[in-house]
Structure 1
């Protein structure tokens, strides 16, 4: 499991566009009100709680709340490889990641893969980012994700997203290439 590249190596080509919704939803005709990706990323980075959806081997969905961090255009989370969601993504890495709000909506589709982070690189940055959970008793050290198994660290690489903060006026679909 290689450590992901430095921030300058992870370049997201993000395209914003109007989503395809059925007539009657009131979507604007112009792209002038689309959300900028950096505003959506700010919501992802600031969030405390996320909902992760994976698919069970029999095809049924599985949804679980997760703690994690949005860093360098990716979502990092950790946990035991024995959990249902981790066993699911080992078979089918397709996932969705949602924020809690039903009015400030961010839905990210992507793939979840096992990874690792050395303490003197990504691990230190992850440890700082996970500091948002320190008051809840979770403060992993920079070396928490080093070693062969990566300490259960996983990363979601986005493939597309849907977001709105004032539906339907700013409903925006993002594609990542």
Structure 2
């Protein structure tokens, strides 16, 4: 589980004079409510791969799932380092987040059941999963579940403009 109190730093180079660093709790609120995230992974040949997906913040980590034969799952077999981003598609409003970390497979059935409940709570009954053999099972087949605890995260406020960095010790 990631540290509850990361080192927080405002980067003045990318912040307006009146800006202040955002509190990590504010970022967590955004992670809990954001509906779409962009996952960046690295292909075995070194090329980047980015794809949108849904995710849930639970117990100090961001969780997502994917089919075992999808590109992102294949990439994660070779390199577990990822970046997840979310935010507003607007220049002057909203809040953007970038979360860097290592994707760890979740296979414990009790944790998976809790996560399956979190998906339904956040996204509705269309995102109902059964838990079987250490994975989610749904209408689309089997999905592996991954957890990313933040190692470093960045928050980008837009009114006033600011860049906050959170550094976690793991």
TM-score of the alignment, normalized to the shorter chain, above 0.5: yes
Structure 2 unaligned blocks of 5 or more: 137-142
Check conservation: 1:69, 1:77, Cα contact below 8 A. Answer: yes
Change (3 A) 1:163 1:130: same
Structure 1 unaligned blocks of 5 or more: 1-9
> Match of 2:124?
134
1:71 aligns with 2:62: no
Aligned length: 157
Greater displacement, 123-132 / 41-50 = 123-132
CA distance in 2 between partners of 1:78 and 1:11 (Å): 20
- Deviation at 1:36? 0.5
TM-score when normalising by structure 1:
0.78
- Deviation at 1:11? 4.7
Runs of 4+ aligned residues of structure 1 deviating over 3 Å after TM superposition are 25-28, 148-151, 167-170
> Match of 2:11?
19
TM-score when normalising by structure 2:
0.81
Q: Which has the higher strand share?
A: 2
Q: Deviations over 1:15-69 (max 9, x none)?
A: 1102374xxx4544x8x71101011001101111111000111221100111110
Change (3 A) 1:19 1:89: farther
